[in-house]
Amino acid sequence: MRVVKAVHALKPHVSDETFELGLAKFLRARYDLQSRVALYGRFASTDSDVDALMRRAIWRACCKRFGHGVQIGVGVGFKHPETFEIGDGVFIGAGAYLQGRMDGTFRIGRRAWIGPQSYFDARHLVLEEYVGWGPGAKVLGSEHTGVPITEPILKTDLIIRPVVVKRHADIGTGAILLPGVSVGEGAIVGAGAVVTRDVPAFSVVVGTPARFLRWRDGHDGPPPERSSPHGGR
């Protein structure tokens, strides 16, 4: 075993170039949203410096808010980027897919790190600052009622439940967050865990469904009381 310094979260803040901000402003003024999204396809699948620049410019032209120093990997897909609010220094890994909703909310706080192949059902989703999101981890923000039983489930109404991941939390590789859960500040969700209930701050949860394992080093207390699914709602 060896211990090395972190990289992403320790990078100094760097503002994007003025010409890049101007390019995004031009794209927003010149093209409608559908055309901007279509243009993105030309630069999504290759990784030259120009491709990376154009991905940032197009995202900035599409998003509700878009910070400085954002990195967008190859093959990142999205839907309804006009609802996205992305903070400074966010990293979005290759092949991630961010599915917003036309009347939804999707906020990613500064210096969040989104692993490759992640999936976000971003109907009402907030990731606060310095959140780590492991490769292949997923979040669902909605589910069908299944009522009435005589109808195909896909025809029944959707229930949208907010999902919040508080600052400094870390979501393990391949974990799944179900609708309505909240992950507390500084909590760790283990790899492959399925989160069906709120996760207390500074706790470590593992398993399917996720259960309390221990408190993080430096945080003491009795095991938390068992909460109901969907954060008690």
Q: How far apart are CA 163 and CA 118, in angstroms?
A: 16
- Model confidence over 67-91: pLDDT tens digits? 999 999 999 999 999 999 999 999 9
Name the nearest CA neighbour of 58 among 84, 25, 105: 25
Task: Say how far residue 13 (Cα) sits from the centre of its chain.
Answer: 21
Q: What is the pLDDT of residue 202?
A: 97
Q: What is the pLDDT of residue 130?
A: 98
Q: Which of 165-169, 171-175, 225-229 has the lowest mean pLDDT?
A: 225-229
Q: What is the pLDDT of residue 118?
A: 98
Q: Which of 131-140, 152-161, 223-232 has the lowest mean pLDDT?
A: 223-232
C-alpha R_g of the chain: 19
pLDDT band at residue 228 using 50, 70 and 90 as cut-offs: low
Share of the chain above pLDDT 90, in %: 92
Region 136-149: what's the mean pLDDT? 96
Share of the chain above pLDDT 70, in %: 97
Region 10-30: what's the mean pLDDT? 96
Q: How far apart are CA 42 and CA 130, in angstroms?
A: 30
- Model confidence over 191-226: pLDDT tens digits? 999 999 999 999 999 999 999 999 999 888 788 876
Q: Is the pTM of the predicted complex or chain greater than 0.85?
A: yes
- Model confidence over 103-142: pLDDT tens digits? 999 999 999 999 999 999 999 999 999 999 999 999 999 9
Q: What is the dihedral of CA 185, 189, 195, 198, to 10 degrees?
A: -20
Mean pLDDT of the chain: 95
pLDDT band at residue 227 using 50, 70 and 90 as cut-offs: low
pLDDT band at residue 232 using 50, 70 and 90 as cut-offs: very low
